[in-house]
């Protein structure tokens, strides 16, 4: 590590104090995953008009109406790598990690027209550079993590056999921790901010969706989710997240999708989703993170090879939520990947029990810092492995 404090760091550290939100652990679209659940993960995230498991409430609450009585459980491993420079191309850092996470859901057909279910999904970021950013007193190893777990109780109603409406309550738990963050005083001299350890917050939001099959070969879907408003993170509300009064809210997002079955056994789908990072507290501070809204496009296909085997493939792409002038403030929050290719497979053990696996490869990306972030460059790549089990009642 370079033991001189580069001049560019002194000039821009006031932007970096908020930059401890974390690095790539779960995220591929900001702090969101490309997909929820192994079925959608194999199809590039396509899910708004194509519910395939009980994480559907995180994509379109109305999708739970088409699943019947079942439960799904899955685990994922995210393999991450980030190479970065901080303030100077001679000041190099590396973050490596394997991050496990669970998810799943359950659904009940409580009446011919009604279902009730619960989806449990996650989001977040994490990094561990393993060494101090600068050789100043009190500066510990640079690492941070943000974990969000959402539980979505969901009810659906079918006024017509081909039309479903769904409503979800989103209950969130958020955990944040940061260490080794560097700030700057009024005179521009860098100093080490204290770590407050693990801080927790609770959040609430909602989602609504519709699913319509006008003809047997075509399904249309649309959904809208409010922000999930979280309580303040104690400790960090006094320094890192002071501009947002300690709040880090999950953004509102909405989208529409289509699924088409042109041939027996073949389904193709497409989603569009917009994520409103610019209106979410904690992400939208113009002087630090300055995250931009994202337009996400997802494409996928599945094909039934036989009664037991189904294969999937997909692609996801989005505009960048991060610009090159803000790489310094986002040094910890460097989940910059925005394009992914995916594969998936399901094996039916019998009519009630399924095993599903998927692989996601995010296309490596580099952002070279400009303006106040000159010298702070970020390169990342990641792979996501998911396996799940389904039981139909």
pLDDT at 259: 98
HSE (CB half, 13 Å, CA atoms) of 19?
Answer: 28
pLDDT of amino acid 239: 86
pLDDT at position 20, please? 41
Per residue, the 3-state secondary structure of the chain, as one string, reads CCCCCCHHHHHHHHHHCCCCCCCCCCCCECCECCCCCHHHHCCCCCCCCCCCCCCHHHCCHHHHHHCCCEEEEEEEEEEEEEEEECCCCCCEEEEEEEEEEEEEEEEEEEECCEEEEEEEEEEEEEEECCCCCCCCCCCCCCEEEEEEEEEEEEEEEEEECCEEEEEEEEEEEEEEEEECCEEECCCCCEEECCCCCCEEEEEEEEEEEEEEEEECCEEEEEEEECCEEECCCCCHHHCCCHHHCCCCCECCEEEEEEEEEEECCEEEEEEEEEECHHHCCCCCCCCCCCCCCEEEEEEEEEEECCCCEEEEEEEEEECCCCCHHHCCCCCCCCCCCCEEEEEEEEEECCCCEEEEEEEEEEEEEEEECCHHHCCCEEEEEEEEEEEEEEEEC
What's the CA gap between 353 and 351, in Å, rounded? 6
What the block records as the tokens of 68 is 């019947």
pLDDT mean values, one per 10 residues, the chain (393 residues): 41 38 52 92 97 96 97 93 90 87 95 97 85 87 90 98 98 93 78 89 98 98 98 91 92 98 97 96 83 96 97 96 89 85 97 97 94 92 94 96
CA distance 292 to 104: 30
Cα separation, 35 vs 140, whole angstroms:
34
CA-to-CA distance for 243 and 352, rounded, in angstroms? 51
- What is the structure's pLDDT at 99? 84
Going from the N-terminus, what domains does the chain have, and what CATH number goes with each? 7-392 (2.40.160.60)
Give one word for 88, left, alpha or beta, with left for phi > 0 and alpha for psi -120 to 50: beta
Instruction: Compute the distance between CA of residue 186 and CA of residue 203 in angstroms, rounded to an integer.
Output: 34
- Which token pair is 252? 């509102």
Task: Please name every residue paired with 177 in a beta bridge, in sequence order, or none if there are none.
Answer: 145
């Amino acid at each position: 590590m370079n033991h001189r404090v580069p001049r560019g760091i002194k000039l821009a550290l006031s932007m970096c104090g908020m930059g401890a939100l974390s690095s790539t652990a779960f995220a591929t679209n900001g702090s969101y995953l490309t997909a929820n659940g192994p079925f959608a993960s194999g199809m590039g995230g396509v899910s708004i008009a194509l519910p395939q498991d009980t994480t559907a409430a995180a994509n379109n609450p109305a999708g739970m109406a088409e699943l019947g009585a079942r439960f799904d459980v899955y685990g994922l491993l995210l393999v991450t790598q980030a190479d970065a420079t901080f303030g100077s191309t001679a000041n190099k850092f590396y973050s490596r990690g394997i991050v496990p996470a669970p998810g799943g859901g359950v659904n009940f057909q409580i009446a011919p027209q009604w279902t009730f279910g619960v989806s449990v999904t996650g989001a977040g970021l994490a990094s561990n550079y393993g060494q101090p950013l600068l050789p100043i007193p009190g500066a510990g190893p640079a690492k941070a993590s943000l974990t969000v777990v959402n539980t979505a109780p969901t009810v659906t109603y079918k006024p017509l056999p081909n039309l479903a409406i769904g409503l979800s309550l989103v209950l969130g738990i958020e955990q944040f921790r940061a260490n080794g963050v560097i700030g700057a005083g009024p005179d521009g001299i860098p100093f080490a901010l204290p770590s407050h350890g693990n801080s927790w917050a609770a959040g609430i939001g909602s989602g609504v969706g519709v699913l319509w099959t006008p003809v047997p070969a075509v399904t249309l879907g649309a959904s809208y989710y409010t922000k999930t408003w979280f309580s303040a993170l104690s400790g960090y509300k006094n320094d890192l997240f002071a501009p947002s009064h300690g709040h880090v809210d999950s953004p509102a997002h909405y989208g529409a999708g289509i699924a088409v079955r042109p041939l027996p056994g073949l389904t193709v789908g497409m989603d569009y989703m917009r994520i409103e990072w610019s209106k979410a507290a904690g992400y939208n501070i113009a002087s630090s993170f300055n995250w931009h809204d994202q337009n996400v496009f997802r494409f996928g296909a599945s094909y039934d090879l036989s009664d037991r085997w189904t294969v999937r493939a997909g692609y996801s792409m989005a505009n960048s939520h991060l610009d090159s002038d803000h790489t310094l403030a986002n040094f910890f929050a460097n989940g910059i990947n925005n394009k992914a290719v995916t594969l998936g497979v399901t094996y039916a053990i019998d009519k009630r029990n399924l095993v599903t696996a998927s692989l996601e490869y995010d296309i490596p990306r580099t952002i070279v810092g400009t303006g106040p972030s000159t010298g702070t460059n970020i390169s990342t790549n990641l792979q996501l492995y998911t396996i799940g089990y389904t039981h139909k009642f």
